[in-house]
Structure 1
């Protein structure tokens, strides 16, 4: 399989249900859209980051109107290769902004944003009048 390394900027946006199947739908759509566009290792990291962000949106935040989560990604040329920005937007949480935490060895969850932080060049959270977006950039 050949991989195209030079890509004009491309962007996609999908809306998935605010439940676990939504995370699965987002992963499959992202993998299908970017197969052959990104090197396999980068694609794997991007899919893992989106899975974590959508999973967190489903577990810890409310949905956008209509019971959905919006997943967007953008591919652009960067330093001779490609960079990808992913953004997951949900209805936000009244508890706290997303932040990595230290999970003990016996805990079965709590590592999502630590994984996002490890795989991404940078990531962050933005709030607006409609909800909350967690974004990450990978290259």
Structure 2
């Protein structure tokens, strides 16, 4: 059996909004939107990987809050796990640094205005249940 490789995604929530990142690479994913994140390195905890990836990809300091239930298959042997996360106080504004060319903060009303990667759609749906009640 092939060892699974975990890819972590951040449901980065701020002020009742979810951050979406538009892929710039690889070419087959460019122009579509995803929850930012990346691969967990050998010996690294998924939560630590997510914090590291958000720093590398978006230049922000964040902290994980809770794991979103479920995991979603990507191209074998990768699987996606998602955590809700929030910006740490004093963190700089998010900006695309690696693998992305645009960012959007989406409210629950405009969450489907972007062309999400197919594998992120179920995770985004599950994340919607994490939004504070007053923003739904």
TM-score scaled by length of structure 1: 0.29
Structure with larger Rg:
1
Task: Provide TM-score, normalisation by structure 2.
Answer: 0.29
**Bigger share in strand:** 2
Q: Which has the higher contact order (CA 8 A, sep 6+)?
A: 2
